[in-house]
Structure 1
Amino acid sequence: MKRVRLIAGLLLGLTGIGTVGFHLTTGRGWLESVYLSVITLTTVGSRDGGQTPAAMVFTMAYLVGGLSIFTYSAFQLGQFVVNVEFRRMLERRRMEKEIRKLNKHFIVCGMGRMGTTICEFLAQRRKPFVAIDTQSEVVEEACRERGWHAIVGDSTDDAVLKDAGIERATGLATVLPTDADNVYVILTARMLSSNLQIVARASEPKAIEKMERAGATRVISPFSSGAVKMARFMLSPSVEDFLEITDSGGSELELADIQIDADSPYIGKSLMETDLRNSGVMIIGIRRANGERLLPPAGTAVIQAGDSLFAFGSSEAVNNMTGLTSSES
């Protein structure tokens, strides 16, 4: 931007010098002097037999100097544009390289108000994700200002989802403007990854069943969900306030779903036999791989491969527990 301001300053200054010079050497008014300055600088020129020798000398000097500065400015501007495009290309390559390294990340399709809120939620919790949007300005701002991983493209396109690393992703949220587009994303994503957790937004209630049939793990209707939340707040305001605390990005408390991998050292052990109680995390529920839920689980409940542990505690304790549930820790 400094280079652009310098070029603009040079051109404005040159025009100002020409205006004053023509005004003094020809005796013309200021408007005519500006006109003569511009047409001389742009080499359009004019036939004016009434010019004085002083005006002719000034015109020649101004034309030579002006063309030199104008050429220099054009060169600098072209170099600036090339540099900007080159930096963008390097940033895109860096972004693509970083995305290829992501594993067990999340994909957000659509960066409108709801999609941006989802990205902010994930970013606050330092969860890896890739956002997709068709508007290059939105994507560039997300990458440059927020440091997010984001790519420009159509989320319904197989190639774009593959560029986002869908084969390695854990979950996908599709919040495109229309239900039809969201259904198409669900179908495409499910074909590319059979185990992917897919959450979709439905604007119309009649679209919920279609999205579930297409392969969505969960379909959210913002209007009905918001209405239910308001009703719950009227009935149990203290409980809703507590849930708001756990949902807020700045909260120290977190409610998390901890996946038990096949190589976890806790497999085959009961909750009492593990050291999870000493980790500062409370296990408030277990969901088996077959869908069975233990709410709340007994201390004798045995942890199995494929289980999901519903853990409640501080963000630090939950993150530490996530590392402990794998044999790689």
Structure 2
Amino acid sequence: MYRFFKSKFYLALFLLIFVLVVGTLGFRLVSNASWIDSLYMTIITITTVGFEETVSLDDNGKIFTIFLIIISVFVFAYAISVITEYILSRSSLKNIIKRTTLKKIKRMENHIIICGFGRNGKQAAEKLIVHNQEFVIIEMDRDIIERYEDFDGYFVEGNASEDEVLMRAGIEQAKCLITALPSDADNLFVVLSARQINEKLLIISRASEETSYKKLKLAGADNVIMPDKIGGEHMASLVVVPDLVEFIDNLSISGDNTTNVEEIKMEDLATSGKEITLKELDLRRETGCTVIGYKTPDGEYIINPEAELKLAKESKIIVLGRPEQIELLKEKYDL
């Protein structure tokens, strides 16, 4: 609806300019007046202000003026109605959308909050969409919000470092916060505010400088990512071990002919609560997936775990498989 009003607004603007151009050219031709006098005559004619004429009009000039007045009356009436409708509708639509968005966010639980919708924030949002994760974006730049108004996510306008804005984004019910602001100082302030409001929140922060890494960790960030450092290491790896890097990159790409990596909670695999071994689980035979990693309840990782390893409560396994194998795994264990 907003785009419909916007197109009508541009149409009205075009008609006004069209009448102005036609009137100026018309007076120039019928009265041989100067361009300034022709424009002046057009303005006083279509606005009906009644100022004194600067050129003498013959019968052809008078007939042209009559038609110009009639046309301009209809164009002006249409333009005024459209512009008024556009301004009112734009204001009311924004208010309605804002209220609806805030109501939806209040009902959300275990969602993700992204602070900043720059390059890193947008990449994070696109990845979450692929994995069907609900998220809210906090962005203070109105132009960016309007540019991505059709993006599959909820926008909250404001400064992410303010507690009120974080509350509007539902930080108390959220499970994770990703702060991808360009300034390390801003990210540090967001981490401090978020950790104070929600102690259980998983916080992932972006950092530009290595000196900011420890500060963000001390402030409460669970993970600190340095995109520039990762990018440099990735480029160097493409020189040293190009095939290995390309293979690893393919693991994270979604598609019909690519390999996927998934993490699965122990509680989803052994609903009885009894500890079992990887050999007893036998995912390779049941689904075709291969267990490549194990995360203990304490957060330690074991690469390529042994078959006799017992899967403790609150642990996770990381499996490797093609999309159809991962899908079979999800169907079998109702994931």
Q: Percent identity?
A: 28
Q: State the alpha-carbon separation in 2 of the partners of residues 96 and 279 from structure 1.
A: 42
For residue 257 of structure 1, the aligned residue among 263, 281, 286 is 263
Change (3 A) 1:296 1:204: same
In 2: Cα distance, 1:266 partner to 1:137 partner: 52
Contact 2:260 2:322 in 1 (8 A): yes
**TM-score, normalising length from structure 2?**
0.82
Task: Report deviation, 1:79.
Answer: 0.6
Q: Would you say 1:223 and 2:228 are equivalent positions? A: yes
Identify which range, 189-198 or 57-66, moves more after superposition.
57-66
Q: Aligned-pair RMSD on alpha carbons?
A: 3.1
Report the TM-score when normalising by structure 1. Answer: 0.84
Instruction: Give how far 1:188 is off.
Output: 1.4
Give the aligned partner of residue 290 of structure 1.
Answer: 298
Gaps of at least 5 residues in structure 1 are none
Partner of 1:115: 121
Q: CA deviation at 1:91?
A: 3.0
Distance 1:139 1:110 in 2: 11
Secondary structure, aligned partner of 2:297: coil
CA distance in 2, matches of 1:297, 1:41: 83
User: Which shows bigger deviation, 286-295 or 64-73?
Assistant: 64-73
For 1:69, the equivalent position in structure 2 comes to: 75
1:10 aligns with 2:15: yes
Distance in 2 (alpha carbons) for counterparts of 1:228 and 1:21? 68
Name which of 248, 271, 285 aligns with 1:243: 248
Structure 2 residue identity aligned to 1:133: E
Structure 1 residue identity aligned to 2:281: T
CA contact (8 A) 1:142 1:150 kept: no
Q: Deviations over 1:191-220 (max 9, x none)?
A: 222222211111111111111111111112
**Alpha-carbon shift at residue 113 of structure 1 (Å):** 1.3
Instruction: Answer yes or no: is 1:206 the counterpart of 2:211.
Output: yes
Structure-2 separation of matches of 1:216 and 1:114: 17
Q: Partner residue of 1:176?
A: 181
**1:167 aligned counterpart, secondary structure:** coil
Decide which of 305, 312, 315 is 1:304's aligned counterpart.
312
Are 1:84 and 2:90 matched, yes or no?
yes
Give distance in 2, aligned partners of 1:320 and 1:189: 38
Does the Cα contact within 8 Å between 1:281 and 1:318 map onto a contact in 2? yes
Q: CA 1:276–1:126 in 2, change beyond 3 Å: closer, same or farther?
A: same
Q: Check conservation: 2:268, 2:333, Cα contact below 8 A.
A: no
Aligned residue identity for 1:131: I
Relative distance call for 1:30 and 1:226 in structure 2 (3 A) is closer
Q: How many residues align?
A: 326
Look up the match of 2:274: 268
Deviation at 1:180, TM superposition (A): 0.9
Consecutive unaligned residues of structure 2, counting only runs of 5 or more, are 1-5
CA distance in 2, matches of 1:311, 1:24: 80
Deviations 1:211-246 (A, max 9, x none): 111111111222332333344444433221211111
Contact 1:267 1:304 in 2 (8 A): no
1:177 deviates by 1.3
Deviation of 1:153 after TM superposition, in Å, equals 1.6
SS at match of 2:281: coil
Cα distance, 1:118 vs structure 2: 1.7
2:191 paired with 1:186: yes
Deviations 1:246-271 (A, max 9, x none): 13344632223334459961632313
The question of whether the paired residues in 1 share the 8 Å contact of 2:251 and 2:261 is answered with yes
CA distance in 1, matches of 2:91, 2:156: 16
2: CA distance between counterparts of 1:170 and 1:264? 24
Q: Distance in 1 between matches of 2:81 and 2:193?
A: 47
2:3 counterpart residue number: none
Letter paired with 1:265: T
Distance 2:243 2:21 in 1: 69
